[in-house]
Every structure is written in structure tokens, then in C-alpha cells.
Structure 1
Amino acid sequence: MNHTESLTRYVANFVDELYQSGLRDVVISPGSRSTPLAMTFATYPHITHWINMDERSAAFFALGIAKQTQRPVALVCTSGTAAANYYPAVIEAYYSRVPLLILTADRPHELRDVGAPQAINQTKLYGDYVKWFHDMGLPEPIEGQVTYVRGKAARAFHIANTANRGVVQLNFPFREPLVPDFSMVDLWGLNQDIAHLDMTEGKKQLTDKQLTVLHDRIKQHENGVIVCGLMEDQRAQEAITALAKFWGIPLFADPLSQLRSGSHDKTQVIESYDAILKHQETRDRLRPDFIIRFGAMPVSKPYTLWLKENPNTDHYIVEEVEGYREPIGHQSTIIHGEPKLLCEALLHKESPRFNQSWLKSWQEYNEIAVDILAKKMSETLTEGHVVNAIAKVIPDNSVFYVGNSMAIRDVDTFWFHTDKQIRILANRGANGIDGVTSSALGTATSGKRVTLLIGDLSFFHDQNGLLLTKHYTMDITIVLLNNNGGGIFSFLPQAKQEVPHFEALFGTPMNLDFLHIANLYQASYYNPSDWDALQSALTDSYQIPGLSLIEVKTNRAENATWHEDKWKEIAEQLKGESDVSDSE
């Protein structure tokens, strides 16, 4: 068997084993050294290959596909700095627990560390952000080569896909010639449709004794809250809402918990807890005895302050398998167990007698906050209005991808519960503004309509990703919040203390005409200036296939003032409500 035959058999068996393990998508960035992998994936009939020339965009694009499909996605790139461009998305995938398979092509060992062109040290390139790294052996005509390569393919896939899910890097050294021979007999191996390695993952749950101890501790309290942040296990929603109703306690639902949208019972859902907790006096009145949190920490900063101000609260954090997500540093109980099974088990226990006036207060406060936040929608457009407009006209059974900085915070404040089946996604692992557009485009590969809400800095940062819309069919409406800079800094102390060079360092105005970007990528473009025009633009965009860009121009200072006025009004109304309750 010559070099080309060994190379072809090696890579073909690797790709076939990934398919047998469950891989369905690969994102390829063009390059020479990655030729064996790229050509084999492109030839293999059962794995969809996507081409993205920008490796940074490609990695975030793959992350979006993986988020939407809930299964690993592979990435292929050439040697050198190409692989380094994956790093931001690798970090995001690590912290948000998204499975990715990074397949980096490399120079053979004799060309490493000798000054050969396009040869860098790719060994453990991503450090501790990967679950497993393996430097693959060279394709050679030796006994056991097929078993070796299939074993590594299956192992990599299953490691990435088991909780906590994450990133695996396989580094492939290839010698020239690099072009496979696809005319070979039995190219994909003799055992097609039979996986070389299978893996069964059991579910963690508490023992009866552990459950009883937990239940006995909880029932000693009166004022409890269930909190749901971004959750990896999305099968738990109905069980969590059922537990909140069974216990008669409020349920704080972060928008990424998927509990604000859908047909499930939302009686206990408090979606405006962020606005309610913004003022110190309100937080002082509402002190919890216990909190059970499912998923990651919520977006809300007032919730974080509330936790800090209540160090004696009995705090439980449910992690499906392992992990530590408790940034406050208070005494807590970490529960390793599947959320759905835990809730179902607690539903079979006697319902504790909690304080029902606690729930009633939260529900009344929530109603007041929602009424204030939702009113006066005919005034000049603000970023809060935009979220409300999207919620009203976004198609059922679609995806809402949200950018970081102010976009996700406005969704947290202004996205109220709805019976529409809307999946809300965001890159909240490392919370960066990079790669958001590419991630949203990745979710659009599923065929579902996607709405992306994003700020101007973040949109500018990742505009290369829009090239994908010219090559593939994707139905996406991008709502661009253009406040000409970093709007979130208008809410921070830097803006209130007259910091020198504030605009240059924090405001960062770009003064760009985004119509040119729309024209470059042949997007349908809208620039609404009032509520009716915005709703009309959204409605029109949802009827048009492909890419639509809706640019909403806002003023940073006016937007900050508008938000602060809303929060003050909520605080005043809640204080009045509390005074009435006290007098009764």
C-alpha cells in the first residue's frame, strides 16, 4: 500500500466513523495542508459540509449549528495561525458547554520547530479549554491503522458529546502528497453502519436518603424562589414549572432558560424580577429564605446584588453532572443530578407549607413592572421598544438569537412571557461581542426562521460572517441597534463621572452607514424611525427569504435616560403597593 492509499484509507475511515458516531455537520475553512480532511468530508455523502473562509467566523458558525442541533459539529482548518482563529469560539464553547470537534491539519513531525513555513506549535493549542487533545499518528501502511483511526474518531465524538459537553482537538500531521484517491474499493470501510465505539451515558439522580434530607431542609423555610438561567438540559422545563406551582413559590426565568416562551404553565413565572430588584429598598423588602437555581447564573445584575445582600439564604445550585458556577462566594449546596429527575422526585414528596403572601407579592409586583415596561409604545423608538416589537410579530416556532452587551439585557427586561414557541439563544459563556452574527447564521442552517438582535459594535465586529448568506439559503432577520457606539457604557459609572476621553475609550462611535453593508451582501434593508414602521419592517422581513437588515438608530444618552425613568417609575409604584399592604 503506497502513501496515497494509506492516506485515503486513513482519512476515509476516520470520517465514516464520525458519521457512525453521530456527526452530521462539518465547517471547513479552505487551506492546503487540510486537503485530505477537506476533500474527504466534501466527498462523504452523509455529512453536510459548510465552507467558511474566515476561521474565526467558521468556529462561531459551527457553535451556532451545535447549539441549534444539540449535537457536536466538526471544524477543519489548515496549519498555522488558521487554528488560532478558532480560539474565541473555543472559549465560548467551553463556558457554554457546546460540543465541538476541532480537526487541525499540521505539518509532519520532522517539519515542526525547524523554521518550516506555516508550522506553529499546535500541540494543546487551546490549553485547558478542551476536554481532550490527541496528536494523531501519521497515515502509514501499518497493521492496526484502521482500528486506531476509528477508535480515535469515536472517542473524540463521544467525549465532546457527554456532559459536561465541550471541545475536543485532534491534530493531524500530513505529509505530501495530500490529495486522496477516491477511486479505491471499499473506500469507507467494510463495517459501514456499525459504530466502532458506542457510549451510553447514565443519568445522575439523588438517592432516596439524599432527597429526603434535601426536602426536610427546604420545608423549614417560608419564602423561597426557583431560579432558572441558561440550561443545557432543555427537557426539564415542564418539571421545573410544575415544581414551582406545586410548592407555590415564584419562578425567576432568565430569557435563556426557555421558560418565558412556550405552551407550558407560566403561572409562577416572574419575568420582570430584574426590573423589580433594581432598587435597594425593594431588595430590602424581598428577602428570600432559600433559592434553588437550575442552569447558569442569570443575566440580571440586580439578581446578583440580591444574592450578595442575602448571605444567609439557603442556596442550592443544581448541576447536571459536574461544575462550579457560584460566583458570589457564599455558602451553597451544589447538587449533581439531572434537573428533570430531581424535580419529578420532589413532586412526589409532601408539598411544604410555604408563605403564599410571598408568591402573591411577587406576582403583583411582576404585573406592575410589566405594565410600566410595556406602555407608551407609540413614543420615539428606544431599544426596549424594539424588543417588545419583535416579541409581538416574531413568527411562532422560530429562533431569537440575542447579542451581548445591552441587547441581552434589554431582552431580559422587555421580553415578557408568550405562548409562542420561541427558542432564545445567546453566546453567554464568555459574553463576548465577537462572533454573534456567525453563531446566529449557524442556527439558521436548521431551516428555521432566525431573528438576530445585535448592537452596532458587535455587528461590525463579525460582518465577515454575512458572506455565508450569499452561498447558502438562510432566512434571517437582523435587527441592528445602532446607537453609534457602546451603549452599555452609558449605564455604567464611567458615564456618570465625566471620565476624560469617555467617547474615545468607551463610547467608541464609528459613524458608519450600514446601508452599504446591506448592499454588499444583497440584504433587504429597512430603517424604521417609529413603532409602526418597525413593526411593518419586521413583518415584511419575515415574508422575504434570505437576509434582511433592519437598522434602528437610537441615541445613547436618551436611551439611558428612558431606561432609568422606567426603573424609577417601577420603584415608586412598588413602594406605593408595599405601603398599601402595610396599612392593611
Structure 2
Amino acid sequence: MNEEHQERLTHYLAAFIEEMVGNGVDEVVISPGSRSTPLALLFAHHPKVKTYINVDERSAAFFALGMAKAQNKPVALLCSSGTAGANYYPAIIEARYSRIPLIVLTADRPHELREVGAPQAIDQIDLYGKHVKWSTDMALPEMTPSMLRYARSSAARGVSISKVHPQGPVHFNFPFREPLIPDLNKVEFSDVHGKKVHHGDVHLSPELVEELQQKLSGCERGLIICGPGINQDAVSSIAEFAKRYGMPIVADPLSFLRSGEHDKEHVMDAYDTFLRIDELKEALRPDAVIRFGAMPVSKALMLFLKDCDDIPTWIVSKGEDWQDPTARGTDYIHCSERLFCESFMGLPSREGSWMRKWKDVNIGTKELLLQGHREWDEGQAVHQLLQHLPEKAALFVSNSMPIRDVDTFFFTNDLSQSIYANRGANGIDGVVSTALGMSVKHDPMYLLIGDLAFFHDLNGLLTARKYQLNMTIIVMNNNGGGIFSYLPQAKEPDHFEDLFGTPMDLEFAHAAKLYGAGFIQVTAEEEFLPALEEADQRRGINIIEVMTNREINVANHRKLWNFVSREMTTRENGDQFDSSYQ
């Protein structure tokens, strides 16, 4: 009986894995455990599957997320039964909202051992609820022709669902009876797989193109907004579309539009600062908005758009997910960004006073940001880091203050640089592991992170040592949650530090030693660039801890914003902006 069971187990799971690999899933991150043994051994046995072992399930899930994000292709994730799968939850939520394809495989007890007090048995059916695109409780292993076809069909279906827009995670729950050891001697994986799902781009009908073309022709003050999640193959098309219609592009740092070889003449990169200035808002008010990707990080932009509640707003998205946090959308257009732009290239290029005004304001704001930002603080460090990044560098940015400083100081350039962040759920958990997952495919790789987020995911550094990954980590250590100092809570001094500031008083040099990483502590401006240069010369993980002060940092930021606002207002009063743009 055990021999028959082993044969069923082996061929059923081999068929599933073979179909997954045939559909493009050739990397799997494994969190070791007993119940997942059959899948783990067969994945390791497959000659075309690269396996990564991570004993911390939360870190493992974010590591897989980073790998999938870097390649824009599904990565598998495997764990045992019980609470192991629950530790995947934060990364699965991030994958759902940032549209990253993950194939989540959880091992489970067979049906007769569920809800009867068996060890490491929890209810794993629909474990991740609505945070996965699709979930299935797989049948127990059998090897009849119909069941082998079922295993293959399920694999192809799950991979396809994860890849179709909007991309996202899917969940396979596998019940296994003991014994759990497959017969690897009876497995011969082949390149032949029977099921392939083909995905095509969504095109606009000629009638819709004509209707939208007429609306575009009458648009004098159009504004393009580009957020995270835009396909990189659409960047040049968006830039050409903006030039054709004389529209400024408000480009989030995660949109891939601020750097690269494409035309950046219409790209605005200082809007988070100048849209805080009330005296400018009316002059910059558009008569139509076209949005690509998710909503940018800038709160100033969000507030600006909330005041534009009576203008047409087109939201272009390849998938049918709803990307409209301001609820100002009037037209929701399901089409790839590239094909949308290419559908409207019939008119000759135009540029009037509207486009010139946005350019003047953007250029003036950048000049003032650099002129007024003289004191050493986190913003200055981020600006120097961004200038230091070499060609083809990738920078992963943590949420809270780091991403906001990057939004302020990442100016357009012609280098092939990529900025990434976990902006799906905007959390600070799993940031180290996600960046390390990306480092598998990106070199050179940098991570900009705050001390709280770094502490949150120190365990991720174990994977870096195990697989000899290379990354420079810049930790902004202001001894607590710096972003809370900008919020109203900061005015409640009696309990602010305990509840929000949360100082940890940690010495990260000890963490670096624990995981075998290089370490440099920076306490003054003149030490920072030499530290970056030194780290660039060493392979492996290098940690640069930049010591900062929360109170000084907040004061400097507000002083800078006030300086820019005052100077730009003076310029406006001296040369009135024409808000009619006739």
C-alpha cells in the first residue's frame, strides 16, 4: 500500500510541477517543514527549477515578492501546514495590491485530520480570503489519467490567473497523507507540457478612439499623471503622447518616467513641492486629467486633485482593478498604456503657454530646492544618494519618510535607473527581504530604509548571507518613526514618544556582525559619500547607518518648503501667471 501511495504522490505532483515550469514558473522559495516534503523534494529534483531556502516564512514571502517584482513573472512559494502559511499573509496582501504574480503553495493535513485536534492543523481553506485572485483546495494525490490531467490543468490555470491583468497572487492548498516521501527515481521531467495560456493586449474599438479623439482635440489644459505599476514598454509612448498634446506629465518616482533614454521634456519632477503653494494651484488647474498606473505617493498631488472635482478624469488601466482613490474618475479605460497612447497619434504636436508655465514652475522649484537645502539632514542624504547611483542601478525605497524624500529629490536624468517600493499596502514590513529578492536579478542594488523598517525585517539578512547576495543598505536612523513627527500627533508631547516616536536605541553594528555584513556609521555630511564609495568596492551586504535627528529633520523640511513657497509666490506676484491660457 505504501508503494502505491508513493507512486500516486510522485506522479501527481510531478505532473503539477512539470506544467508549472512549462508555463514559466522556474523559481521557488521554500520555507522548510515536514508536511510540504513531497513538493519540496520534487522542486529540488527538477533540473530547471532554482530553489531558495528561507526558514522565516514572513521573510521568505517578501523575498519571493521581490523576485517576482524584479522580473515581472510568477515565483512560487512553498511552506508546511499550520501557522507557517499565515506568516505569508503580509506579503500576499502586498502582492495583491501592488499586482505582483505569486504562486502560493501551502501543504495541509488530509481531510480526515482537519478540525479534530491534529497537530499543526488549522483551517487553511481560503486562508487568504479576498487577497488572492484565486484559491483552490487540491484533491488528494491520485495517478489516474483524469487526475493527472486535473493536476496539470490546475497548474496552468493558476499560473495564468496570476499573470493576467491585474496580476496578483493565487493559492494552492495541498492535502497530503503520510508517508510523505516521493520516489525520485521514478521521475523524469520533460519539456513537454500540454497546456499553454496566451494573453493578448486589449485594443480600443475604432468608435471609442474617435469619441475620445474628439474630446482630446478640445482639451487645452490637459494633465497626465503617472503612478506606480506602469509597464516599462509604455514609457516612451506616454512621453510621445504628452508631447503630441502639449500636456505636462506628473511622474511618480516609481513610474519609470523620471530616468532613462526616453524624452523627458514634459516630465514634472518637483510637483510635490510646488503643489503645496496655494498661490500656484489655480494657475495650474487642468481642464482634463489622464491617469496611468496607481495613485502617486504625493499627498500634495492628492489634495490638488480633490479640488479638481468638476473636470473629466480618464483612468487608463490594462486590468479591471479600480484605481480611483479620489473618486474623481469619469472614464475608466481598460487598455494597455502603450496601445492607448499609440491610438491617438494623429494630430500634429502642439505646445502652448499651459505647457510652458508648468515647465517654468517645475524648473524654478528645483532650483530653489537645491538653493535652500543647505543643512545636513535626511533629505540632503537622499539627494546625495540619488546623485551617486550609477548607470543601471536599482534602488528599493522603504515607505514612510524615505519614499517621500525620494519623491522630492529624485530629478529627471538620462541614466537607466529603476526605483522600486512596496506601494500596494504601503507597509514597512518585509522591506529588507523584498529588496534582497530583487537583488537576485538587479546589480548594483541599493536599499534606502528607516531604522524601524530595518528592525522589522532584520531576519531577511540571513538569506543574503546564505546566497551571497549583493546590496548596499542605507539606514536612516532617527531613532524612531520619523513620519509621525509631521502629523498632528506630534503636538501631544505627553505620550508622543511612547506611542508614536517609539525610540529603540539599537546599535545596528551588532546586527551587521551577526549576519556577516559590512558596516559603516555616518554622523556627518563629509562621511557619507566616502561611505557609499567604500561600499561600492565590496561585494556582499554593506550597511551604511546614517545618524539623524527627527526634530531637526522636520524643522529643515518645513523651512525648505516655506522658502520655496515664499520665493515662488514672490515670482508669481512679479510676473502674474495667466490662469486663462487662451
The equivalent residue for 1:60 is: 62
Q: CA deviation at 1:529?
A: 2.5
Question: Paired residue for 1:16?
Answer: 18
Q: Which residue of 1 aligns with 2:263?
A: 265
- Count of residue pairs brought into register by the alignment: 576
Task: Give me the whole-angstrom Cα distance separating, in 2, the residues matched to 1:458 and 1:281.
Answer: 37
Letter in 1 for 2:460: G
CA distance in 1, matches of 2:533, 2:164: 40
1:92-111 to structure 2, matched below 5 A, reads 92-111=94-113
Q: Is the 8 A contact 1:67 1:98 kept in 2?
A: yes
SS of equivalent residue, structure 2 residue 513: helix
- Name the SS of the counterpart of 1:183 in structure 2: helix
In the alignment, residue 414 of structure 2 is paired with which amino acid? D
Alignment-mate amino acid for residue 169 of structure 1: H
Pairing partner for 1:442 from 414, 431, 437 = 437
After superposition, the C-alpha distances for 1:121-178 in whole angstroms (9 at most, x for unaligned) are 0001000111111111111343423212111111111111111111110110001110
Displacement of 1:282 in angstroms is 2.3
Q: Which residue of 2 aligns with 1:365?
A: 361
Q: Are 1:290 and 1:315, in contact at CA under 8 Å, matched by a contact in 2?
A: yes
Q: For residues 338 and 121 of structure 2, what CA distance do their matches in structure 1 show?
A: 48
**TM-score, structure 2 normalization:** 0.96
Q: Distance in 2 between matches of 1:569 and 1:18?
A: 57
Task: Check if 1:416 corresponds to 2:411.
Answer: yes
Matched, 1:560 2:554: yes
Other-structure match for 1:329: 327
Provide the secondary structure at the position in 2 that maps to 1:257.
coil
Contact conserved, 1:292 with 1:317, CA < 8 A, in 2?
Answer: yes
Q: Aligned ranges for residues 20-169 of structure 1 at < 5 Å?
A: 20-169=22-171
Residue pairs, 1:63-462, within 5 angstroms: 63-184=65-186, 187-188=187-188, 192-351=190-349, 356-375=352-371, 379-462=374-457
Whether the aligned pair in 2 keeps the contact of 1:29 and 1:76 (CA below 8 Å) is yes
For residues 222-247 of structure 1, give each alpha carbon's deviation from its aligned partner in whole angstroms, at most 9, with x where no partner exists.
21211100124221000001111122
Seen in structure 2, the aligned counterparts of structure 1 residues 533 and 501 have a Cα distance that, compared at 3 Å, is: same
The answer to whether the aligner puts 1:509 opposite 2:503 as a matched pair is yes
Q: CA deviation at 1:544?
A: 0.9
Change (3 A) 1:12 1:141: closer
Residue 225 of structure 1 aligns to which amino acid in structure 2? L
Q: How many angstroms does 1:524 deviate by?
A: 1.0
C-alpha contact 1:447 1:474 (8 A) present in aligned 2: no
Deviations 1:239-258 (A, max 9, x none): 00111112222111100001
Identity across aligned pairs (percent)? 47
Q: Which amino acid aligns with 2:300?
A: P
2:156·2:197 contact (CA, 8 Å) conserved in 1?
no
The secondary structure found in structure 2 opposite 1:217 is: helix
Residue identity opposite 1:341 in structure 2 = L
Opposite residue 90 of structure 2, the aligned amino acid is P
Residue identity in the other structure for 1:566 = L
Instruction: After superposing the two structures, state which structure 1 stretch, 254-263 or 193-202, moved more.
Output: 193-202
Q: In 1, distance between residues paired with 2:548 and 2:67?
A: 31
Distance 1:141 1:225, change over 3 A: closer
- Residues 169/342 of structure 1: CA separation in 2 closer, same or farther (3 Å cut): same
SS at match of 1:114: coil
Higher mean C-alpha deviation, range 449-458 or range 2-11: 2-11
Contact 1:138–1:173 (CA<8 Å) still a contact in 2?
yes
Return 5+ residue gaps in structure 1 as ranges.
none
Q: Any conservation in 1 of the 2:393–2:442 contact (CA below 8 Å)?
A: no
Deviations 1:19-68 (A, max 9, x none): 11101210000000000011111111101100000111111100000000
Aligned mate of 2:517, from 513, 518, 523: 523
- 2:500 partner SS: helix
Paired residue secondary structure (2:320)? coil
Residue matched to 2:468: 473
Compared CA separation, residues 357 and 9, structure 1 to 2 (3 A): same
Given that residues 470 and 521 in structure 1 are in contact (C-alpha distance below 8 angstroms), is that contact kept between their aligned partners in structure 2?
yes
CA distance, structure 2, for counterparts of residue 454 and residue 551 of structure 1: 10
Flag the 1:149–1:511 CA change in 2: closer, same or farther, 3 A: same
SS in 1 for 2:446: strand
One of 477, 487, 498 as aligned partner of 1:482: 477
| Pairwise CA RMSD | 1.5
2:143, 2:63 → 1: CA distance?
36
CA contact (8 A) 1:33 1:107 kept: yes
Moved more, 141-150 or 295-304: 141-150
Q: Deviation of residue 319 (structure 1)?
A: 0.8
Deviation at 1:583, TM superposition (A): 9.1
Q: Aligned pair in 2 of structure 1 residues 331, 60: CA closer, same or farther (>3 Å)?
A: closer
How many angstroms apart in 2 are the aligned matches of 1:399 and 1:60? 17
Q: C-alpha separation between the residues in 1 aligned to 2:194 and 2:156?
A: 7
Contact 1:395 1:542 in 2 (8 A): no
Is the 1:274–1:412 Cα contact (8 Å) retained in structure 2?
yes
CA deviation profile, 1:334-353 (whole Å, cap 9, x unmatched): 111111011111112455x6
- 1:274-294 deviation line (CA, Å, top 9, x unaligned): 101112222233211111110
Q: Write the letter of the residue equivalent to 1:357.
A: S
Q: 2:372, 2:517 → 1: CA distance?
A: 31
Q: What CA distance in whole angstroms lies between the structure 2 residues aligned with 1:224 and 1:179? A: 63
> Is the contact between residue 97 and residue 232 of structure 1 (CA under 8 Å) also seen in structure 2?
no
Matched, 1:7 2:1: no
The one of 520, 537, 556 equivalent to 1:543 is: 537
Gaps of 5+ in 2: none
Distance 1:157 1:304 in 2: 35
| Amino acid of the structure 2 residue aligned with 1:365 | V
- Cα shift readout 1:397-443 (whole Å, capped 9, x = no counterpart): 12110000011011000111111111111000000000011000000
